[in-house]
Amino acid sequence: MSTTVPAARERLWDAVRDGDEYAAAAAVFDAIDTGVTPEDVLLEVIAPVQRRIGTEWAANRITVAEEHTATAINDRVIAALAHHPANAQRPVSGRVTVACVDGEWHALPARLLAEVLRLRGWQVDFLGAQVPTPHLIAHLHRTGPVAVALSCSIPTGLPTAHAAITACQAAGVPVLVGGAAFGPDGRYARLLGADAWGPDARAAADLLAAGVTPGARPSAHQPIDDLPHLGDQEYSLVSRTAPQLVKATVTEVEHRFPAMQTYTDQQRQHTAEDIAHIVDFLATALYVDDDGLFTGFITWTADILAARGVPATSLHPTLESLQGQLVDFPRTQRLLEAALIALGRTATDLEPIA
């Protein structure tokens, strides 16, 4: 059986799709046996397979259940790899903490980083998914690591990530962040005051090796110092009244589309959830004051819907309803208008050439 890296990837992909952890482990261990380093197995075989799980779900080629199963298989393979006697490693470098911010369920990217760091000789405390910030701080006080690596994959986790970053820095520990939520160029990492950002696990591990030093900050640094626009309260008001906004939007949208009134309970539930998701992203975009975050989400949602056979224009009524409800909020209006414009472009992108 061929054991080059691309071949190992294919074998692993087939195994996780099939939910077959033994075939998955075999694919990985065969690669090790023919000289692929454990770090390369983690980053060139397992990580790409995990990314592929995400894109396949987005394209509606696998279900949510299959996504969870595949992730669980990948997780087991990483555990098996860690326990393999060939990968035993005594800690020789400093101590570091790796964790996902509260609300973040995608633990695999952080897990991969934790394993890479362990292989490189760090003493790693991996706290897992969804770590409440007070737990994280208590852990930092107890263990005094040289740095903390925080992972956040979903943009709506950015406000929580900001609180976690500030709290860790206030406890005297420099913060390295990573994950899709911070943007492809790490722009939100800079905005939220993180001390370092890595686009992938290898870059993050290299940064930690070079040493993450705390940036210069005034004493008693508060989150609002990074984001002065929060003073206009638009973010607080939108996020606090989200349930009411969603309810009103559902009612309005149903009004405009009589067909919706014959929806089953489950369909109505899904609609409400989709709208709640949009409001959540709107609030996050208000938090970082970035049009791109909201328009990016809206166009991505349009693509997801298109893959499931739903036209992009179904998003218009939601955005217009929110425009009407939040008339007095200038930054909100700006975001909604930008999203509608972006949608207009997307709809024409997707129209079939007559």
Partner 1 sequence: MGGDGPIGVAMGLDAAWPSVPHPVIVVSTDGVVRALSAPAQSLLTAAVPGGDLSGAVPLWLSDAHREFVHRLSTADLADSVASGTVHGRRFDARPTVLDGEIAWWLLEDTGRDLRDTQQALTREQARTAFLDEASAVLMATLNVDRCMTATVALATRHLADAAAVVAPVSGNRLPIVCGTDGAVERRRVDADPVVVAGLSEALRGFPPVPSRWIDPAALPEWLVPESISGTVGSVLITPLPGLGVPAGALVLIRRTSEPVFGEDEELSARLFAARAGAALSAAALYAEQSAITSTLMRDLIPPRLNRLHGFELAGGYRASEDHQVVGGDFYDVHPGATPEDDTLVVLGDVCGKGLEAAVLTGKIRNTLQALSPLAQDHTGVLRLLNRALLSADHTRFATLVLASVARRDGQVTLRLTSAGHCPPLIVRSDGLVEEADTRGQLIGVLEDIRAKTFETTLAPGETCVLYTDGVTEARGGPLGTAMFGEERLSAVLEQCAGMPAEAVVERIMMVTTQWVGRRAHDDIAVVAITAPRRTHLSAVDGHTAGRYTA
Q: Which residues bind partner 1 (CB under 8 A)?
A: 19-22, 63-65, 68-69, 71-73, 75-76, 80, 83, 102-103, 105, 130, 132, 134-135, 138, 140-144, 170-172, 219-220, 242-243, 246-247, 250, 266, 269, 272-273, 275-276
138 CB neighbour count, 10 Å cutoff: 12
If the CB atoms of residues 266 and 348 are measured against partner 1, the closer one turns out to be: 266
Q: Report in angstroms how near the CB of residue 11 gets to partner 1 at its nearest.
A: 16
Q: Report in angstroms how near the CB of residue 32 gets to partner 1 at its nearest.
A: 14
If the CB atoms of residues 180 and 276 are measured against partner 1, the closer one turns out to be: 276
If the CB atoms of residues 109 and 198 are measured against partner 1, the closer one turns out to be: 109
Q: Report in angstroms how near the CB of residue 283 gets to partner 1 at its nearest.
A: 12
Tokens matching residue 99: 């964790």
Query: Quick one: which of 292, 291, 281, 293 has its CA closest to 322?
Result: 281
111 CB neighbour count, 10 Å cutoff: 25
Integer angstrom CA distances of residue 258 from 17, 251, 254, 275? 40, 11, 6, 17
Question: What does 119-158 look like in DSSP terms, one character per residue?
Answer: HTT-EEEE--SSB-HHHHHHHHHHH--SEEEEE--SGGGH
Give the CA dihedral 33, 36, 40, 44, nearest 10 degrees: -90
Q: Find tokens 């989709």 and name the residue.
A: 274
Q: Report in angstroms how near the CB of residue 56 gets to partner 1 at its nearest.
A: 16
Phi, psi (rounded to 5 degrees) for 196: -160, 160
Q: Report in angstroms how near the CB of residue 22 gets to partner 1 at its nearest.
A: 5
Phi, psi (rounded to 5 degrees) for 252: -65, -45
If the CB atoms of residues 75 and 303 are measured against partner 1, the closer one turns out to be: 75
How far is residue 267's CA from residue 283's CA, in Å, rounded to a whole number? 24
If the CB atoms of residues 95 and 334 are measured against partner 1, the closer one turns out to be: 95
Q: Report in angstroms how near the CB of residue 248 gets to partner 1 at its nearest.
A: 10
**Directed axis angle between helix 242-256 and helix 316-325, to 10°?**
130
User: Is the Cβ–Cβ distance between 47 and 201 less than 8 Å?
Assistant: yes
How far is residue 129's CA from residue 119's CA, in Å, rounded to a whole number? 21
Residue type, 324: G
If the CB atoms of residues 75 and 226 are measured against partner 1, the closer one turns out to be: 75
If the CB atoms of residues 20 and 303 are measured against partner 1, the closer one turns out to be: 20
If the CB atoms of residues 163 and 347 are measured against partner 1, the closer one turns out to be: 163
